[in-house]
Amino acid sequence: MSTTDLPCAWGGPTLRGRLRAVAEDFEVEELPSFEPSGDGEHHWLWIEKRGANTEWLARQLATFAGVAAVDVGFAGRKDRHALTRQAFTVRLPGRPEFDWSAFVAEGVRVLGTSRHARKLGRGSLAGNRFTLRIRDVEGDVEQAVAQFEQIKSLGMPNYFGEQRFGSGGGNLAAAEAMFAGRRVRRDEREMLLSAARSVLFNDVLAARVGSGHWNVGLEGEVWQLEGSASIFGPEPATPELVERAEQGDIHPTGVMWGKGALRTQAEVARLEQACAAARAGIAAGLERAGVGMARRSLRVMPKHMVSDREGPHWTLRFELPPGSYATSLLRELIMPMDGGP
């Protein structure tokens, strides 16, 4: 599944540049939703990794500590081709002391340790902080800066990035094979279901970006509060709700397909049903799998956005909530010279 052809909200990129020439060009730092308590049977580790896969590192930690892989927790998967800083927990009951300074893995540093009472769960984040360096930019820089400012003020489409779909869209193809009867491991099943739901969400969002209605309400809309998981509606797009949407206080949502009834009505429901019908095999597979219908904001508002130019290079700094993709911001601004972010 390629996201290359998905419509852009702000006119499309006017620049070309080199992305991820080195891992340090794509820095990601987790913003934890809590601080470790300082005691408990879970050892809390703050780790920097370069060019390493999150699941691979979790297995290395488990092997080093002599525990099962299930005893290692992390909040989210981070890009392999990046410099990332993120938290892990390792359950070591009855072992208050442990020499984490002896842990050695290529491209990995343990920056700090503490203790906590619970395993770190998926999604236990306030967000992620990004520093992205684009080298050797060419094109209309003034227009790109203007687009950057539009995103700062008005947000961007909350597309799932290509990482969600695996190399060459392999996760989506594997999901279709699973729905056709191929058996998969439990952990793989979760990943494939996520890819299937994500492609339907992207279809809905693409249709609304194409019509210019991704950040404003339509008849039958269901809304999400900014900075919250709270969903409300369907409610008519009254002048008050339209004003709140313009201010970024609320956002239209798109369906994460599954079992059950659509919450939207009227125009929005018809659009979402049409997108599901266009991928009927995937929609039916999700329903049989028993995942429930859910909603996701169509728009994301990056925080603390700043940019710096130094010669031919451009550096972007911003924060995103959990589950949103930096590559979805990049695709609005930059056409990569080397194939894609």
Q: How many CA atoms lie within 13 A of 144 on its CB side?
A: 25
Q: Which of 79, 136, 249, 308 is catalytic?
A: 79
Distance CA 63, CA 56 (A): 11
Residue 311 three-state SS: coil
Distance between the two ends of the chain, CA-based, in angstroms? 14
**Separation in Å, CA 85 to CA 107, 108, 111, 128, 292:** 12, 10, 9, 10, 33
**11 class by beta-carbon count within 10 Å (0-12 exposed, 13-18 middle, 19+ buried):** exposed
Q: How many CA atoms lie within 13 A of 322 on its CB side?
A: 16
Specify whether 79 is catalytic. yes
Which runs of E-coded beta strand occur in 10-161? 15-19, 26-32, 42-50, 72-74, 83-91, 108-116, 125-139, 156-157
Distance CA 272, CA 204 (A): 6
Q: Which residues contact 159 (CB under 8 A, 6 or more apart)?
A: 3, 6, 202, 205, 206, 325, 328, 331
Residues in the chain: 341
Catalytic residues: 79
